[in-house]
Amino acid sequence: HINRERNSMRHYLFVYGTLKKGFPNHDHYMRSARDLGKYQTIEKYPLVLCGPRYVPCMIFSPGDGQHVEGQLYEVDEECLNRIDALERVKDSDGYRRTVIRVSSSGRVNQDIRDALAYFMLPEQITDRRSNNLKTYGPDQAKKYTPRK
């Protein structure tokens, strides 16, 4: 009974890379998520490709970069736990999950919501493979290699 209540907790999650619909990690990790549409960050952040696997990384450096475009989902605890494992949030070199503000892409500064997002810290970025991106698209996804 307690487990069922815990899993019914819902969170807003902003995704900007391989978890977006149509991208490599979406179908496996986002199957229980509810798509709320296209959103963008209110604050500017650097979004870059990193390392030999060309992983998309949003860097926690508010004010730098661009208003990152992505998708907003409503997710349950189970989905969030799966993504935490993918993003290795418990590892020192993994992503950090934090709350940011996002707004609907179609209406700038409207439909503003607090949402969870996954970031790398600036000091974690040692092998940057791109300039700052506004959006992670099919051209960038072609370079991506999943973790083995």
| Residues marked as catalytic | 87
Amino acid at 71: Q
| b/e per residue 27-57 (b: at least 16 CB within 10 A) | eebbeebeebeebbbeebbbbbbbeeebbbb
Angle at 126 between CA 123 and CA 131, to 5 degrees: 100
Composition of the chain by helix, strand, coil, percent to 5: 20, 35, 45
Structure tokens, 73 = 């989902």
Contact 69, 135 (CB under 8 A): yes
